Chain A
Amino acid sequence: MLLKNTDRGLYCEAGDFYVDPWKPVDVAVVTHGHSDHARPGSRLYVGEASGKTILRERLGFDARIEMLAYGEAFSRNGVKVSLHPAGHILGSAQVRIEHQGEVWVVSGDYKLENDGTCRPFELIRCHTFVTESTFGLPIYRWRPQAEIFREINEWWRTNQGLERTSVLFCYSLGKAQRLLAGLDPSLGPIFVHGAIERFLPAYRDAGVKLPRVAKAEAEVVKQSTPRGFVLAPTAADGSPWLRKFGDISTAFASGWMQIRGPRRRRSLDRGFALSDHADWPGLLETIEATGAENIWVTHGYTGQLVRWLREKGRNAEVVETHFEGEKEEKEEAPTRAQEAEGEA
Chain B
Amino acid sequence: MLFTSYAFIGFVLVLLVLYYAVPRRFQKLILFVGNVCFYVMSGWTNLIFMGITILSTYGAARWIGNNIDAQKAYVKAHKEELSREEKKAYKAKEKKKRKLIAALAVILNVALLALVKFPNRIFLFLMPMGISFYTLMSLGYLLDVYWEKQKPEKSLFRFALFVSFFPQLVQGPISRFKDLSESLYAEHALDWKNIYYGFVRVLWGFFKKLVIADRLSVVIATISGDFDTYNGAYIFLEMFLYTIQLYADFSGGIDITIGVAQMLGVEMAENFIRPYFSKSLKEYWRRWHITMSTWFRDYLFYPISITKTMQNFSKFLRAHFGDYIGKRLPVYVASFIVWFVTGIWHGTTSNFIVWGLVNYVILMISEELEPAYAAFHEKCIPAEAKGWRVFMVLRTFTMLCFLKLFDCYQSAGEVFRAYGSAFTFAKLDELVHGGWLQLGMSLADYVVVAIGSVVILTVSLIQRPESVRDQLSRKPFALQAGVVMALFLVTLIFGAYGMGYDASQFIYNRF
Query: Is B a genuine binding partner of A?
Result: no
Name B's A-contacting residues (CB within 8 A): none
